[in-house]
Structure 1
Amino acid sequence: MHNYHGKKIAVAMSGGVDSSTVAALLKEQGAEVVGINMKLFERPGEVPGTKGDAELVADYLGIPFHQVHFEEEFARLIMEEFRSRYFGGETPNPCVRCNKYVKFGLLLEKARELGADYLATGHYVRNVAGEDGLWHLKKAAFLAKDQSYFLYTLTQEQLSRVVFPLGEVESKDEVRRRAAAYGLPVAQKSDSQEICFIPNDDYVAFLEKEPERLSGPGEIVHLSGAVLGRHSGTHRYTIGQRRGLGIAWKEPLYVVGIDPQKNRVTVGEVEGLFAPGLRVAELNWIVPPEGDEVRAACKIRYRQHPFDCVVTLLPGGEGEVRFAEPQKSVTPGQSVVFYRDDEVLGGGLITGAL
């Protein structure tokens, strides 16, 4: 692990075991550690004025603690974007956008204001300074927790100012062992899995808090054009979905298309889910490509093994990606991320299948 002795480092502290262990590790190394916690929204059952786990850990470690209020920005940049993309027929990934605009945008700027040399987070990913003068984002040593897929939007400038101390740890058990050895009160706290601002991971209930934006009932149509049934809102569906269609059919049916303009959900057999490639927008390259064609491996969802592809670059940060073999459930709103071995080259937003 790189040694940050004497450096001032702001640690993004959520109150979980990962970021708390990062703060303790860096303090042990002799860094001047400052805890920084983002207030993004009101959590159910939160009691105003009581200390959260992040502040309790900071108190335990004897480090300064700052809470920054990003409620308005988070509501506008993340929650509203999530709603509008869902109502537009897409399936967004708010964690990618939050990393881009909030954690490594607003929060990194706040760390600078506090005089910090670096911002450290509890992400499982590695940040390596190359002999070519570039920073390289690589998968975590502990692949089961690797979060590189969510960080393809980072720039060279951002990478030069961020630290990922958990990138080299071999297991979650090792993190918990270290946390317990430091005596951290959150050593056995369970991990959070779901989208942070959606209670119980029930995104439909979250979206239906704004009934005036709902599409209402519409047709469920087979790829052949036959009307098979009715849906109760396009926002309830995502590409590849099989459950909850309420249609009796001779073969299993899957959602293969969502058209909010026509208020229509299209279904088909499993072969209708496969596509030879995709269209991508908002491309970001951590390592600048040479030429207008890039051969790489790519992932179109987080829990997926990378597969070979060719990216053709188009004007305006757009591109076409062709797969070596057809892939299932290309989903607009999700991200395609490009890899070479264990390194993230870049990625972008999926706009549709080819």
Structure 2
Amino acid sequence: MKVLAAMSGGVDSAVAAARAVEAGHDVVGVHLALSRMPGTLRTGSRGCCTIEDSRDAWRACDILGIPYYVWDFSERFKEDVVDDFIAEYAAGRTPNPCMRCNERIKFAALLEKALALGFDAVCTGHYAKVIEDADGNRELHRAADWAKDQSYVLGVLTHEQLKHSMFPLAETPSKAEVRAEAERRGLSVANKPDSHDICFISDGDTRGWLAEKIEMETGQIVDQTGEVVGEHDGANAFTVGQRRGLKLGRPAADGKPRFVLEIRPKENKVVVGPEALLAVDQMRGIKVSWAGVPIAEVESQTEFDCMVQVRAHGDPVAAHAQVEPADDGRPELVVTLVEPMRGVAPGQTMVLYQGTRVLGQATIDSARSLSWDPAQVS
């Protein structure tokens, strides 16, 4: 099989490519240049796809004896990931750029180009598993190592994309084993730190970065009753669940800390309140997609039991879900939690599971708590 190995420059993608070669596939390595100005070196372990990463990917391909190319996806990345990130924050939502990158770059733009060039599959170093059911349909499942499982960020993959996806690290019991294997193979990235945080914000200062991209105006911070308790420098820089940096001029009556409950960019208001009001009972999702063939309840729009996860490393929570038709003809996903979940923000991605299987995902459009009605905040 002709396989295109996406080489980030890290240890996971290098070992995944090595395993694909060892399995007898015809493998070609490609590194994605996602920025026109990547800098010369990464800062600590932040970011990915820098010049240093490109060189590490080249060294790995050289050791593996496979061709190596760099593809410039910087314009597509800016439009589909960076600009989307800015627009979502400007609208008062909290986006996940890694989800958008997997959806629109690694498994849309990259896979599309790979198939056009005659490749059969794209291989990545993600920790996730693809399984075929009795009818030959492909399903996405959690990896063997749940601590490293990355099925959440792959929840946006469609049935057609899963047909051409290869995850050689699926059954690997630990990251330590991957590093040990890389060292045995003579790969220089064996002990390279994992990348983390948002790759295009190299210093990790999301608020400062956004301040340069979104026009910020001072406005009111109000509590859950609508009373003004402080002033902010720009509502768009806050996230639901945030505690630090509120600079409230008036303490709560009980002396306990307050958290961001809601962001209202049109009114330029930030709503704060006690931690207990962060608990969410129900979420409505838009931009719904299914990882593989949808289960029968999706087609019949009947309720089904599932687990829902709203963060890459968050704990899954038991829930009941149902697809509902919307006024614009696009389906919405309504998820009611068995136990409340804390700090859910519009713009986040909720991924549904049954057992280890990923059912699909949706972007959270709204989240509500039965404890208070946001409409009472004037």
Shorter chain as denominator, the TM-score bin is over 0.9
| Residue segments in structure 2 that go unaligned for 5+ positions in a row | 42-49, 369-378
| Structure 1 residue 304: Cα displacement | 2.1
Looking at structure 2, the residues matched to 23 and 274 of structure 1 have their Cα atoms a distance apart, in angstroms, of 43
Looking at structure 1, the residues matched to 130 and 120 of structure 2 have their Cα atoms a distance apart, in angstroms, of 16
Residue number in structure 1 paired with 2:312: 302
Looking at structure 2, the residues matched to 51 and 301 of structure 1 have their Cα atoms a distance apart, in angstroms, of 28
Looking at structure 2, the residues matched to 284 and 317 of structure 1 have their Cα atoms a distance apart, in angstroms, of 10
When normalised by structure 1's length, the TM-score is: 0.94
Looking at structure 2, the residues matched to 178 and 206 of structure 1 have their Cα atoms a distance apart, in angstroms, of 38
What do residues 128-187 of structure 1 show as CA deviations (whole Å, max 9, x unaligned)?
Answer: 111133211100101111011111111111111110000110000100011011101111
Looking at structure 2, the residues matched to 50 and 258 of structure 1 have their Cα atoms a distance apart, in angstroms, of 37
Give the letter for the 2:294 counterpart.
Answer: P
Residue number in structure 1 paired with 2:198: 195
Q: Contact between 2:285 and 2:364, CA under 8 Å: does it hold in 1?
A: yes
Looking at structure 1, the residues matched to 344 and 18 of structure 2 have their Cα atoms a distance apart, in angstroms, of 41
Single out whichever of 313-322 and 140-149 deviates more from structure 2.
313-322
**CA RMSD after TM alignment:** 1.7
Q: Per the alignment, in what secondary structure is the counterpart of residue 216 of structure 2?
A: coil
Cα gap change, 1:215/1:138 in structure 2, threshold over 3 Å: closer, same or farther?
A: same
Looking at structure 2, the residues matched to 200 and 272 of structure 1 have their Cα atoms a distance apart, in angstroms, of 32
| Structure 1 residue 302: Cα displacement | 2.2
* 1:276 aligned to which of 273, 281, 289: 281
What do residues 20-52 of structure 1 show as CA deviations (whole Å, max 9, x unaligned)?
Answer: 111111212222110011111021226989962
Q: Contact between 1:194 and 1:200, CA under 8 Å: does it hold in 2?
A: no
Looking at structure 2, the residues matched to 49 and 226 of structure 1 have their Cα atoms a distance apart, in angstroms, of 51
Give the letter for the 1:326 counterpart.
Answer: P
Residue number in structure 1 paired with 2:154: 151
Equivalences for 1:18-167 in 2 at 5 Å?
18-41=12-35, 42-45=37-40, 52-167=55-170
Looking at structure 2, the residues matched to 345 and 48 of structure 1 have their Cα atoms a distance apart, in angstroms, of 37
| Residue segments in structure 1 that go unaligned for 5+ positions in a row | 1-6
Q: Contact between 2:289 and 2:360, CA under 8 Å: does it hold in 1?
A: yes
Q: Per the alignment, in what secondary structure is the counterpart of residue 145 of structure 1?
A: coil
Q: Contact between 1:136 and 1:344, CA under 8 Å: does it hold in 2?
A: yes
Single out whichever of 130-139 and 173-182 deviates more from structure 2.
130-139
Q: Is 1:15 matched with 2:9?
A: yes
Q: Per the alignment, in what secondary structure is the counterpart of residue 126 of structure 2?
A: coil
Residue number in structure 1 paired with 2:374: none
Q: Contact between 1:254 and 1:270, CA under 8 Å: does it hold in 2?
A: yes
Give the letter for the 2:351 counterpart.
Answer: V
Q: Contact between 1:8 and 1:116, CA under 8 Å: does it hold in 2?
A: yes
Looking at structure 1, the residues matched to 290 and 2 of structure 2 have their Cα atoms a distance apart, in angstroms, of 29
Q: Is 1:319 matched with 2:319?
A: no
Q: Per the alignment, in what secondary structure is the counterpart of residue 80 of structure 2?
A: helix
Looking at structure 2, the residues matched to 258 and 197 of structure 1 have their Cα atoms a distance apart, in angstroms, of 24
Single out whichever of 110-119 and 220-229 deviates more from structure 2.
110-119
Q: Contact between 2:242 and 2:260, CA under 8 Å: does it hold in 1?
A: yes
Looking at structure 2, the residues matched to 240 and 133 of structure 1 have their Cα atoms a distance apart, in angstroms, of 43
What do residues 258-317 of structure 1 show as CA deviations (whole Å, max 9, x unaligned)?
Answer: 001000000001121112111110111223132212221111222222121111211212
Q: Contact between 1:9 and 1:120, CA under 8 Å: does it hold in 2?
A: yes
Single out whichever of 119-128 and 299-308 deviates more from structure 2.
299-308
When normalised by structure 2's length, the TM-score is: 0.88
Q: Contact between 2:15 and 2:178, CA under 8 Å: does it hold in 1?
A: yes
Give the letter for the 1:75 counterpart.
Answer: K
Q: Contact between 2:9 and 2:53, CA under 8 Å: does it hold in 1?
A: no
What do residues 229-248 of structure 1 show as CA deviations (whole Å, max 9, x unaligned)?
Answer: 10111122110111111123
Single out whichever of 14-23 and 293-302 deviates more from structure 2.
293-302
What do residues 71-112 of structure 1 show as CA deviations (whole Å, max 9, x unaligned)?
Answer: 111101100000010111011001111111100001112222
Q: Contact between 2:240 and 2:343, CA under 8 Å: does it hold in 1?
A: yes
